Amino acid sequence: MQRHYFDHNATTPIDPQVLDAMMPALREVSGNASSIHSFGQDARLLVESARLQAADFLRCEPKEVVFTSGGTESDNLAILGAVRAAAGDRKHVVTTAIEHPAVLQTCGQLEREGVTVDYLPVGPSGVVDIADVSAALRPETVLVSVMHANNELGTIQPIAEIAATAHAVGALFHADAVQSAGKLPLDVDTLGVDLLTISGHKIYAPKGVGALYVRKGVEIESIQFGGRHERARRPGTENVPGIVGLGAACELASQRLAVESARQAALRDRLEQAILSQIANTWVNAAGSPRTPNTTNIGFGGIEGEPLLISLDLKGFAVSSGAACSSGAVEPSHVLLAIGLSREQARSCLRLSIGCGTAAEDVDRFLAVLPAVVERLRALAPAGR
Ligand SMILES: *Cc1c(COP(=O)(O)O)cnc(C)c1O
């Protein structure tokens, strides 16, 4: 059976060019980048050249890039690190109700440590209102953390405006840019961020590597202990092959961005329009908002996303449902509830996220199969649903 992958927001395959770039770091360069001998120096060279690639990608200085184990760690380091480095009386954080769990649960930990956190609502647009940001800010606000693009909806937040608003009260600003990297231009000065998170495996590099941008002069406390690596901000022997892969993926992303964004947006729009016109009682969440080019989140009234996902998987199509199964139980997505869907509506949504490897034929095959699958599930659904 041919398989088709529509779940690039969950993870991407390693690009062959990224893998090629990594091979010397896996086969030949075996040193510890902290060792003084030539083996160590070879590894150090690879790490520093990847840092240049990441810095080019983010339009920052190499020393502002901290390599981590991924998006989750970068979010933790940014938020815990910035809040813990701040003066003791600044104990207020502002974030949004639609953040990734890596941000939400880190904020939850801060609350247990006595920090007050405000979670800004978003309406059906899935976009934070700048007036809500202003209203939430206080003199003691130490950090505002708002994602650049949402992983479930694709909605793009007005990061530059929010950052400026945060700076006006002296707060730092962090953006989780895991879902915008490679899809939207990233320039830390244009965005006005102090801290910015990216993850390797969302941009065709391997899992288990990421980076945090830390603006020059911004103090963060390390959240792990055991060494002075990464300018004493992230201890631990560097994951040299992973870092090399991340660097190569950053360079590739810059090269491809314009062409791929336009190509994927056209494919996504065609997919969306075909589903809306061919299948009754469907809707696109946050359809009118600015969104990343590869993502659509669609409700299929009267059926549940989970059985739909499983039926599609059996036919070779990988998609994601509007439910988070992280706890084992199927809970409707906090993002879909935050944009005002009922629990039942949230449960009936699918997220389709295409990528660099998605061809027009993948979309055609999907569209050839989907209507009958939906029809069959609707026929099986209990009456009144
Ligand atoms: C995937 C993701 C993360 C977590 O990144 P990992 O590298 O998987 O830890 C954080 N934020 C967003 C928005 C994501 O999509």
DSSP string of 196-247? EEEEGGGTTS-TT-EEEEE-TT-----SS-S--HHHHTS-S---HHHHHHHH
Please state, in angstroms and rounded to a whole number, the distance separating the CA atoms of residues 268 and 264.
6
Instruction: Say whether 24 sits in a helix, a strand or coil.
Output: helix
Please state, in angstroms and rounded to a whole number, the distance separating the CA atoms of residues 126 and 137.
20
Q: Which atom of ligand 1 is nearest to the CA of 201?
A: 7
Structural tokens at position 356: 């660099």
Give nearest CA residue, ligand 1 atom 15: 151
In order of 59, 136, 154, 255, 298, the CA distances from 51 in angstroms are 12, 36, 28, 17, 38
Check residue 294 and give its pLDDT: 98
Please state, in angstroms and rounded to a whole number, the distance separating the CA atoms of residues 190 and 159.
9
Mean pLDDT of 52-65: 98
Question: Counting beta carbons within 10 angstroms of the beta carbon of residue 256, is it exposed (0 to 12), middle (13 to 18) or buried (19 or more)?
Answer: middle
Ligand 1 contacts CB of residue 147 (under 6 A): yes
Mean pLDDT of 137-146: 97
Ligand 1 contacts CB of residue 72 (under 6 A): yes
Mean pLDDT, all residues of the chain: 96
Check residue 275 and give its pLDDT: 98
Nearest Cα residue to 357 out of 230, 254, 235, 267: 267
CA of 194 to the centre of ligand 1 (A): 19
Ligand 1 contacts CB of residue 71 (under 6 A): yes
Please state, in angstroms and rounded to a whole number, the distance separating the CA atoms of residues 284 and 167.
35
Whether residue 185 has pLDDT greater than 80 = yes
Check residue 331 and give its pLDDT: 87
Please state, in angstroms and rounded to a whole number, the distance separating the CA atoms of residues 319 and 312.
8
Please state, in angstroms and rounded to a whole number, the distance separating the CA atoms of residues 86 and 370.
52
Ligand 1 contacts CB of residue 102 (under 6 A): yes
Instruction: Give per-residue pLDDT as tens, 85-114.
Output: 997 888 999 999 999 999 999 999 999 999
Ligand 1 contacts CB of residue 100 (under 6 A): yes
Check residue 123 and give its pLDDT: 95
Residue 192 · residue 173 · CB < 8 Å = yes
Instruction: Give per-residue pLDDT as tens, 280-333.
Output: 999 999 999 999 999 999 999 999 999 999 999 999 999 999 666 555 667 899
Q: Which atom of ligand 1 is nearest to the CA of 200?
A: 7
Please state, in angstroms and rounded to a whole number, the distance separating the CA atoms of residues 172 and 221.
14
Structural tokens at position 206: 């391997």
Mean pLDDT of 328-353: 93
State which of 72, 73, 159, 201 you would mutate to test the pocket of ligand 1, scoring each by most atoms of that ligand within 8 A of its C-beta. 72
Q: Which atom of ligand 1 is nearest to the CA of 73?
A: 9
Enumerate domains of the chain plus CATH numbers.
Answer: 4-11+257-380 (3.90.1150.10), 16-253 (3.40.640.10)
List of residues 6+ apart from 121 with CB closer than 8 A = 96, 97, 132, 338
**Which residues are marked as active site?**
325
Residue 339 · residue 123 · CB < 8 Å = yes
